């Protein structure tokens, strides 16, 4: 039985190289070689680093789907309808599928799980979330029996790289982003990462498995890192923390009908928290369960080789199942309710630049009062002769109340500028 | 199909309670209930916290082994030949086995794997190592295709609790141990933990899976935490680190015939290293692979409920395999060579109390010179009028050379006391 590979970019190329390098050893371990039968590419003439025979290349999806020797399709095409169609076609032809496609899974999770079930085949996607960290299999298998209450983590390496740079070198987001792009840690169009959308896709997949419910990326409340400034980092540091982009899924485990809450947001993470020390493009995920307590998984969140390693683990697992005619089953419930913005409560840090004049603080405080937002701490720094920088840390309060507060503040004449709203990880 | 439970102590009791509490939900997820058919106990009359029907209890192993309805035996008896015999009998009767028995696995790993293979059944042991952390399954499945070069971690919660107390409260080992015993973190006879033997058992199991070779606990070079003093912590702190008991397995991945090196030792871990911040009874394990890079897993290393959670994961996995008549296979090589003490090289921290007299330093230095041990750094503190405390940090050197150095130093008249030899985690 052979493998059909769809796409041969960074991860696909690393996979081919890995299979080439580890082939003999894996054949010994598995009792048969892992052989690639066909590779779908856009341009067969392109120069490739990985050792690939030209005979394997094709530009026709049907060459892979219709090949009876191919029992397993590895989809590494990236976002888009073509990839979705390819996965559907592979499952339709009763081939198991391994994919790293977070965009597709975060929108079509339930459909594809059901298609795999109908075909009696596997769909595996360890590489779609948190790169080389074996998180998906831990959730699917090791923690299958747990009632999970919370998953919170850093799942986007690009933004974590940028935030780490901003923190350590006191530079602006634009400067850090340019550096990340130069080093290949950020794409030319970084909006998917910086907006939090990439993290939201991964969170949707994590939450779907962790809670056995289909969570779509559109269900996630998303706020990204656009607008974060060095002065936000100064404030975070004075508060004893650093700024991280967090993805969090929560559920009340004592109430089986409780809604799920899925959010991506920038937060001040206190230095004593293990997530505060996750630097650069690394990922880390906390998992909290009713019996097991708190677990943490961390490792490389991206990169061709770590991601290819996760794909390889899925390939081996899928092939073992194909050999014994079994499959890994999911148990999905579909009637999930999501928490509205208005009911999310948390501790917030909020900062504004104001005219440095008598009575300003009282005007600003009055606005908080209107919305019943209670202030835990306030700090004032003079910016220059005419402006002052005010920072407020709230008690636990509703997101809707904070948003209403910020909207009313924006209308005050004395407010020169509102900074990014940050949550605080307790 | 029912479960036969052998032993109903802390973990067994927690498992019964967990199955009772989660029973309905698990039955829905699995499509059938997880039912305990029989429980082997020493004393059926004993009061138990878990909700157990007296009808299930027996004092006869044969009542479990000969029960045709029981397809899976969960062994939680603790160390000893009786437990070993019970596992053999269960596999012999073609029942799958889930065990938390690190003592037995660290001495009979290969025999039991082969017995499981011969019976076409599984033997699972997630709970034998690192409590609730799903490390074993990650190594067996997710990292199956990786060439692993190194595993290093904190795998004994008792010693980590004691070392954390010594570090944070500047107390002696005896005081910290007494406190740990009072709180139930250490047993009345703590020698298995403090000698490093418990960590060595877990390391033997980890290394056996990670390297696909049978590693026996007797193969592990073990040094425990006996003899560690508050002044060792002072020195560690001045060096920018803390003292941890580490378990480490290493292999040269570029040489398939390279020996494996397995060791347990107290070390100075620099504060910047993630293992330095693992506090109390928590466990954490680093895994380094050729493709995936560095991963870390951390979580509760002990406790009834987290350990029962790991047992439950194994039960679910084993039952799924029994239903589909498959099993999880291991690929074992048996011809492993181990590194002798003499060839282990590392950076060492070594401290001695000496008579505070002229010429002492030169005498001591001369001994290092004899054994070609190169000193990277030396510090001298006055202890009182007559004694001085010398601390040496070596360059990378052989363990045999350091041991010879310490032996010769002990014979010097000017040496009043040698402290614990510590390695430094680079």
Instruction: Identify the CA nearest to B232 among candidates B346, B123, B83, B393.
Output: B393
The answer to whether the CB of B66 falls within 8 A of the CB of B85 is no
Q: Which of B309, B315, B324 sits opposite A326 (nearest CB)?
A: B324
User: B101-111 b/e with 16+ CB inside 10 Å = b?
Assistant: bbbbbbbbbbe
Residue A9 assigned as binding residue: yes
Q: Is A94 a catalytic residue?
A: no
Q: What is the mean pLDDT of residues B57-70?
A: 97
What is the structure's pLDDT at A330? 73
Instruction: Identify the CA nearest to A332 among candidates A140, A128, A92, A134.
Output: A140
Q: Hey, CA dihedral for A110, A115, A117, A123, is it positive or negative?
A: negative
CB contacts under 8 A, A 56-75 vs B, are none
Residue A362 Cα to chain centre, angstroms = 41
Average pLDDT, chain A: 92
Per-residue pLDDT band at A344 (split at 50, 70, 90): confident
Q: Which of B132, B144, B305 sits opposite A295 (nearest CB)?
A: B132
What is the structure's pLDDT at B146? 93
Tokens of residue B182, six digits: 């009072």
Q: What is the mean pLDDT of residues B364-391?
A: 88
The answer to whether the CB of A307 falls within 8 A of the CB of A14 is yes
Contacts of A312 in chain B (CB under 8 A): 145, 291
Q: Hey, CA dihedral for A319, A320, A323, A326, is it positive or negative?
A: negative
CB contacts under 8 A, B 298-327 vs A, are 298-300, 303, 305-306, 308-310, 312-313, 315-317, 320, 324-326
CB contacts under 8 A, B 133-152 vs A, are 133-134, 137-138, 141-147
Give, for A175, the enclosing helix (H) or strand (E): helix A173-182
Closest-CA distance of chain A to residue B146, Å: 7
Q: What is the mean pLDDT of residues A163-186?
A: 95
Residue B335, pLDDT > 70, answer no
Q: What is the mean pLDDT of residues B144-170?
A: 96
Give, for B115, the enclosing helix (H) or strand (E): helix B102-119
Q: Are strands A293-300 and B293-300 parallel, antiparallel or unpaired?
A: antiparallel
Give, for A204, the enclosing helix (H) or strand (E): helix A197-211
Q: Is B18 on the interface with A (CB under 8 A)?
A: yes
Q: Mutate which of A253, A278, A292, A322 to test chain B, going by most B C-beta atoms within 10 A?
A: A292
Is residue A357 classed as helix, strand or coil in its secondary structure?
coil
User: What gap in Å lies between CA A11 and CA A396, rounded to an integer?
Assistant: 43
Q: Which of A132, A293, A316 sits opposite B292 (nearest CB)?
A: A132
Tokens of residue B205, six digits: 């199991």
- ipTM for this prediction: 0.90
Of A274 and B126, which is predicted with more confidence? B126
| pLDDT digit string, tens, across residues A197-247 | 999 999 999 999 999 888 999 999 999 999 999 989 988 998 889 999 999
Of B257 and A266, which is predicted with more confidence? A266
- The full DSSP string for B9-50 is SHHHHHHHHHHHHHHHHHHHHHSS--EEEEEE-S-TTS--SS
Q: Is B383 on the interface with A (CB under 8 A)?
A: no
| pLDDT digit string, tens, across residues B343-368 | 888 999 998 999 888 888 889 999 99
Q: Is A82 on the interface with B (CB under 8 A)?
A: no
User: What gap in Å lies between CA B182 and CA B177, rounded to an integer?
Assistant: 9
Domains and CATH numbers, chain A: 2-131+305-323 (3.40.50.720), 142-300 (3.30.360.10), 341-425 (3.30.70.260)
For residue B231, CA distances in Å to B1, B173, B194, B390 come to: 58, 11, 18, 11
| pLDDT digit string, tens, across residues B74-94 | 999 999 999 999 999 999 999
User: What gap in Å lies between CA A22 and CA A20, rounded to an integer?
Assistant: 6
Residue A47, pLDDT > 90, answer no
What is the structure's pLDDT at A100? 96
| pLDDT digit string, tens, across residues B202-251 | 999 999 999 988 899 999 999 999 999 998 998 899 888 999 999 999 99
Give, for B199, the enclosing helix (H) or strand (E): helix B197-211
Q: Mark out the alpha helices in A3-54 (DSSP H runs).
A: 10-30
Instruction: Identify the CA nearest to B424 among candidates B366, B371, B377, B368.
Output: B377
What is the structure's pLDDT at A334? 67
Residue A187 assigned as binding residue: yes
What is the structure's pLDDT at B55? 93
Q: What is the mean pLDDT of residues A3-22?
A: 95
Q: Largest alpha-carbon pair distance within chain B?
A: 80
Residue A323, pLDDT > 80, answer yes
What is the structure's pLDDT at A385? 74
Are residues B331 and A28, on separate chains, in Cβ contact within 8 Å? yes
User: What gap in Å lies between CA A271 and CA A276, rounded to an integer?
Assistant: 5
Q: Mutate which of B134, B317, B331 to test chain A, going by most A C-beta atoms within 10 A?
A: B134
- Residue B220: count other Cβ atoms within 10 Å of its Cβ: 25
User: What gap in Å lies between CA B51 and CA B127, rounded to an integer?
Assistant: 22
Report the C-alpha dihedral over residues B82, B84, B85, B87, rounded to 10 degrees. 120
Residues 6+ apart with CB under 8 A from B254: none
Are residues B291 and A138, on separate chains, in Cβ contact within 8 Å? no
Contacts of A306 in chain B (CB under 8 A): 291-293
User: Minimal Cα distance from B29: which residue of A?
Assistant: A331
Residue A164 assigned as binding residue: no
> Please, what is the Cα angle at B70 between B313 and B329, to 5 degrees?
50
User: Minimal Cα distance from B303: which residue of A?
Assistant: A292
Q: Mutate which of B292, B310, B311 to test chain A, going by most A C-beta atoms within 10 A?
A: B292
- Residue B370: count other Cβ atoms within 10 Å of its Cβ: 11
Instruction: Identify the CA nearest to A126 among candidates B143, B146, B125.
Output: B143
Residues 6+ apart with CB under 8 A from B77: B6, B7, B40, B83, B86, B101
Are residues A137 and B137, on separate chains, in Cβ contact within 8 Å? yes
Q: Which of B126, B299, B315 sits opposite A295 (nearest CB)?
A: B299
* Number of CB pairs, chain A paired with chain B, less than 8 A apart: 151
Q: Which of A144, A293, A299 sits opposite B299 (nearest CB)?
A: A293
Are residues A313 and B142, on separate chains, in Cβ contact within 8 Å? yes
User: What gap in Å lies between CA B283 and CA A136, rounded to an integer?
Assistant: 21
Are residues A313 and B132, on separate chains, in Cβ contact within 8 Å? no
Which of A202, A320, A403, A420 is catalytic? The answer is: A202
Residue A376, pLDDT > 70, answer yes
Q: Is A79 on the interface with B (CB under 8 A)?
A: no
What is the structure's pLDDT at B334? 67
Q: What is the mean pLDDT of residues A395-405?
A: 93
| pLDDT digit string, tens, across residues B292-307 | 999 999 999 888 999 9
Q: What is the mean pLDDT of residues A341-364?
A: 88
Which of B2, B95, B165, B202 is catalytic? The answer is: B202
Share of chain B above pLDDT 70, in %: 99
Are residues A145 and B316, on separate chains, in Cβ contact within 8 Å? yes
Q: Are strands A241-251 and A260-270 parallel, antiparallel or unpaired?
A: antiparallel
Q: What is the mean pLDDT of residues B321-339?
A: 80
Residue B253, pLDDT > 90, answer no
Are residues A313 and B277, on separate chains, in Cβ contact within 8 Å? no
User: What gap in Å lies between CA B367 and CA B11, rounded to an integer?
Assistant: 51
What is the structure's pLDDT at A335? 66
**A148, β-bridge pairs:** A289
Contacts of A274 in chain B (CB under 8 A): 274, 277, 298
Are residues B309 and A326, on separate chains, in Cβ contact within 8 Å? no
What is the structure's pLDDT at B239? 85
Are residues A138 and B143, on separate chains, in Cβ contact within 8 Å? no
Q: Averaging pLDDT over each range in A43-47, A339-343, A401-405, which range is the top one?
A: A401-405
Report, in this order, helix, strand and coil percent for chain B, each rounded to 5. 40, 25, 35
Residue B50, pLDDT > 80, answer no
DSSP letter assigned to residue A12: H
What is the structure's pLDDT at A279? 92
Taking only Cα atoms into account, the Rg of chain A, rounded to an integer number of angstroms, comes to 24
Are residues A313 and B26, on separate chains, in Cβ contact within 8 Å? no
**What's the number of CA atoms in the CB half-sphere (13 Å) around residue B107?**
11
Q: Mutate which of B143, B210, B291 to test chain A, going by most A C-beta atoms within 10 A?
A: B291
């Amino acid at each position: 039985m052979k493998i059909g590979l769809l796409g041969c970019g960074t991860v696909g190329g690393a996979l081919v190289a890995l299979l080439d390098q580890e082939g003999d050893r894996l054949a010994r371990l598995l009792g048969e070689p892992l052989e690639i039968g066909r590779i779908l590419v856009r341009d067969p003439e392109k120069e490739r680093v990985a050792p690939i025979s030209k005979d394997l290349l094709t530009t026709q999806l049907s060459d892979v789907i219709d090949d009876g020797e191919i029992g397993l399709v590895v989809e590494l095409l990236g976002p888009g309808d073509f990839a979705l169609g390819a996965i559907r076609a592979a499952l339709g032809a009763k081939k198991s599928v391994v994919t790293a496609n977070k965009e597709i899974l975060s929108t079509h999770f339930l459909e594809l799980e059901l298609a795999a079930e109908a075909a009696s085949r596997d769909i595996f996607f360890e590489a779609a979330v948190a790169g080389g960290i074996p998180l998906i299999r831990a959730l699917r298998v090791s923690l299958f029996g747990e009632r999970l209450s919370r998953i919170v983590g850093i799942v986007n390496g690009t933004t974590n790289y940028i935030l780490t740079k901003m923190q350590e070198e006191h530079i602006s987001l634009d400067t850090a982003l340019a550096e990340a792009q130069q080093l290949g840690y950020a794409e030319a169009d970084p909006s998917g990462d910086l907006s939090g959308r990439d993290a939201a896709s991964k969170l949707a997949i994590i939450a779907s498995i962790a809670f056995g419910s289909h969570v779509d990326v559109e269900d996630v409340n998303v706020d990204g890192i656009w607008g974060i400034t060095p002065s936000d980092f100064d404030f975070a540091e004075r508060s004893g923390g650093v700024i991280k982009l967090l993805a969090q899924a929560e559920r009340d485990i004592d109430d089986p009908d409780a809604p799920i809450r899925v959010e991506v947001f920038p937060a001040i993470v206190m230095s004593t928290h293990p997530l505060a020390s996750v630097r650069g493009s690394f990922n880390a995920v906390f998992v909290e369960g009713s019996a097991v307590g708190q677990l943490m998984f961390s490792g490389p969140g991206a990169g061709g080789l770590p991601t290819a390693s996760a794909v390889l683990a899925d390939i081996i697992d899928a092939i073992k199942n194909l050999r014994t005619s079994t499959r890994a089953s999911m148990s999905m419930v579909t009637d999930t309710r999501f928490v509205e913005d208005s009911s999310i409560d948390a501790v917030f840090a909020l900062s504004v630049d104001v005219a440095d004049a008598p009575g300003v603080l009282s005007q600003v405080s009055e606005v908080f009062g209107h919305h019943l937002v209670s202030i835990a701490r306030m700090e004032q720094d003079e910016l220059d002769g005419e402006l002052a920088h005010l920072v407020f840390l709230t008690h636990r309060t509703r997101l809707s109340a904070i948003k209403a507060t910020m909207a009313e503040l924006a209308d005050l004449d004395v407010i020169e500028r509102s900074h990014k709203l940050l949550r605080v990880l307790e």
